Structure 1
Amino acid sequence: MLLTSIDPFVQEFERQFDRLARQAAGPSMPMDGIRRADDVVLRFDLPGIDPDSVEVTVDRGVLTVSARREEEYGETERLFVRERTMGTFTRRVYLSEHLDPDAIEAAYNNGVLAVRIPVLERARPRKIEVQRSGDTHKAIHS
């Protein structure tokens, strides 16, 4: 899919490690990945996030999304239950070499950050012309 293809054993190890690291780190950022003909779209759930705190960067094939959720309370307010996670959220995605990191676009709407990453032209599906009987031998063996 989106991740660089590697040994399935290593991929499973990384998946388990990432899951444990996210649990230990606290705040999570659920993500869906959609592959289309010309691009990949990643959608991150970021409810209650100030759009000005969202940062998307790409460096050496790694897309990093970070955001911050903070809430202030007045002098007369006292927090007695906290179930909503506050702080900084970060998610890193390793991009395939078939994606164009120079043309990434991002938009935040209704608590969802959508990141669009175009597929490089050379990696897009294309139709191969099948040559007819008389031309095949000449074209392939010449």
Structure 2
Amino acid sequence: MAMSFDPFTELDRLTGSLLSTRQGPRFMPVDLYRDGDRYILNADMPGIDPGSVDIDVDGQLLTIRANRTADTRDGVKWLSQERPHGTYLRQFSVGEGIDSDKITAHYDNGVLSLVIPVSERAKPRKIEVTAGTTSEHQSIAS
């Protein structure tokens, strides 16, 4: 069975217990796919203030953080307040196969989109095989 290398290996930092507590980070569902020489990551973050989004790459760790503030209207009687608020957090191990200097991010209609280019050295390349004389081959082998 052939295994293909994928620099994105998600870290299991968010456990089920964090999802159920109000103090812990909120879950951020993502779609991730490779499109040619880049990865595309789309994260659902409805109601997030784009100014609260913090994305950083530290070595091989990509971290996305964002905050959604609670609605605190004065003088109203809440009948239901189910929309989650607080900190959203996702972390990914990105390996060495990406160009972290060229990552771009865009937030539109509640979706954060990251374009993560594959680094030049990680792109597949063909190696040309040339024919030579037997004496050239023997000098390389010895």
TM range (shorter): 0.7 to 0.9
8 Å contact kept, 2:45–2:112: yes
Picking from 3, 8, 14, the partner of 1:3 is 8
Residue 61 (structure 1) aligns with: 60
Number of residue equivalences = 130
1:1-142 matches, within 5 Å, as: 1-3=6-8, 15=12, 18-20=14-16, 22-24=18-20, 25=24, 27-131=26-130, 135=131, 142=140
Inter-CA distance 22–140: structure 2 relative to 1 (3 Å threshold): farther
SS in 2 for 1:78: coil
- Over the matched positions of the two proteins, sequence identity in percent amounts to 37
Deviations 1:60-94 (A, max 9, x none): 22111111111333322122222211111111111
Q: Give the Cα separation in 1 of the matches to 2:16 and 2:137.
A: 52
Name the aligned partner's letter for residue 20 of structure 1: G
- The structure with the greater share of residues assigned to helix is 1
Give me the CA root mean square deviation.
2.5
Segments of structure 2 that go 5 or more residues without pairing to the other structure are 1-5
- After superposition, the C-alpha distances for 1:114-142 in whole angstroms (9 at most, x for unaligned) are 111211111102233344xxx16657654
State which drifts further: 48-57 or 122-131: 122-131
Q: C-alpha separation between the residues in 1 aligned to 2:105 and 2:51?
A: 13
Change (3 A) 1:26 1:18: closer
Q: Which structure 1 residue ranges, 5 or more long, are not aligned? A: 5-10
Alpha-carbon distance between aligned partners in 2 of 1:80 and 1:22, rounded to the nearest angstrom: 25
Q: What TM-score do the two structures reach when normalised by structure 2? A: 0.76
